[in-house]
Copies of this chain bind each other. A is one copy, B any other.
Amino acid sequence: MTYCVGLCLKNGLVFLADTRTNAGVDQIGIFRKMTLFQKDKDRFFALMSSGNLAITQAVKEILLQGKLLSGKNLWNAANAHEAAEVVGDAIKKVYERDFEALKKAGIDFNCNLIFGGQVRGENPRLFNVYSAGNFIEATPENCYFQIGESKYGKPILDRVVNFQTPLNLATKCALISMDSTLKSNISVGLPLDLLVYETNSFHPSKLVTIDESNPYYQMIHQVWGQKLRAAFMEIPEPSWNSSRRGTAIMSSSKELGAVPIEHENKKKSATKPKRQSHKK
C-alpha cells in the first residue's frame, strides 16, 4: 500500500509520500514514490505514485527518458496541463504494452498518480492522474489530492486545510495526516519524502527525507496523540437524565421512533396480556 498527499495552496505546493511497498504482508519493501523534475528556472515538477509498482516504475522511466509522446515531454510541455497530458500518455503507453498480459494473470491495471509543479508564466498546479491516463486538477475549493490509503488521514485535512492555508501549516497537517495513517495501516511506512515547493522558486528548497529520528516528526508523533486525547477530554460527556443544554442526549428523533425491542415468542405472550404489557 501507499499513502501520498499533495496540496495546491495559495503560496505553493506540498508533497508528502511514504516509501513502503508490499506484496502481501510477508513481502515488504522500500521504494521511492516521489520523483522530481527540474529545468533551470523554467519548470519544476513532482510526481507521486501508488498502485502496481511495475506499472508506476515503467511510467516514471518513460518520463525520465524524455521520450516524446505526441511530440511532447515534460521538458518541452507548454504548461503544466500539457505536462499532465504527457504523464497520462506515458500511462497509456504502459497500458498498451502490459494490459493484455496483466489481464491474463488476473491483475488489475492499477496506477494512480499525483502530479504537480510550475511552468514559468503560470501559477503552480496540481493534478490527480488516473489509471486510464485521464486526470483532474485541484482548485481552490478542492485543494488537495490523496492516493493510496487515503481514509485514515482525510478527516484532519478536511477540518484544517483550505486554499489560503500557509505552506508551513499545511506541512504540519500533511504530517499529522500521515501519522494517523501510519498508526492504522502497517502497509504504510517510514521513511517519508517531503517537499514544500514555494511559488516561483523553481527549486526544491524544502526537501527532506524523514525517518523515526527526525525531531519534528518525533514530536508530531508523540504530541498529536496527547493533544487529541486532551481535546477529547474537554468535550462534556452525554447526560442521560437531565435537560442541561448541550449535553442532553435523550431527546429522541421525532421522525424515527426508538429501535423496537423483540421479545421471545410474541404470539404466546399475547395470551398473557398483563406480562406482555409489562414488557412493552
Are B155 and A232 in touch, CB under 8 angstroms? no
Q: How far is the CB of A239 from chain B (nearest CB, A)?
A: 8
Does A102 sit at the interface, judged by CB under 8 A? no
Does A71 sit at the interface, judged by CB under 8 A? no
Interface centre among A194, A218, A227 (most CB of B within 10 A): A227
From residue 172 to 231 of chain A, which have CB atoms closer than 8 A to chain B? 172-173, 175-176, 180, 183-184, 191, 193-195, 204, 206-211, 213-220, 223-225, 227-231
Provide the residues of chain B in CB contact with A255, threshold 8 Å. Answer: 191, 211
Contact with B along A244-258 (1 / 0, CB 8 A): 011111111111111
State A208–B259 Cα separation when bound (angstroms). Answer: 8
**For the complex formed by this chain, how many copies does it contain in all?**
2
Does A79 sit at the interface, judged by CB under 8 A? no
State A234–B260 Cα separation when bound (angstroms). Answer: 45
From residue 34 to 58 of chain A, which have CB atoms closer than 8 A to chain B? 34-40
Provide the residues of chain B in CB contact with A227, threshold 8 Å. Answer: 231-232, 234-235
Are A159 and B208 in touch, CB under 8 angstroms? no
Of B35, B220, B240, the residue contacting A259 (CB under 8 A) is: B35
Are B184 and A256 in touch, CB under 8 angstroms? no
Does A19 sit at the interface, judged by CB under 8 A? yes
State A151–B217 Cα separation when bound (angstroms). Answer: 23
Question: Could you list 14 further interchain pairs (A-B, Cβ under 8 angstroms) beyond the known A40-B279, A155-B183, A168-B238?
Answer: A35-B259, A36-B262, A37-B261, A158-B184, A171-B249, A172-B235, A172-B238, A209-B257, A211-B253, A211-B255, A215-B248, A218-B246, A219-B236, A224-B231
List 16 A–B pairs whose Cβ atoms lie within 8 Å, in order of A's numbering: A30-B256, A36-B262, A39-B263, A151-B151, A152-B155, A156-B232, A159-B229, A171-B237, A172-B232, A172-B235, A208-B258, A209-B258, A210-B249, A215-B251, A227-B232, A230-B231
A-B complex: 8 closest residue pairs judged by Cβ atoms? A151-B151, A227-B231, A216-B249, A211-B253, A209-B253, A231-B231, A191-B253, A75-B264
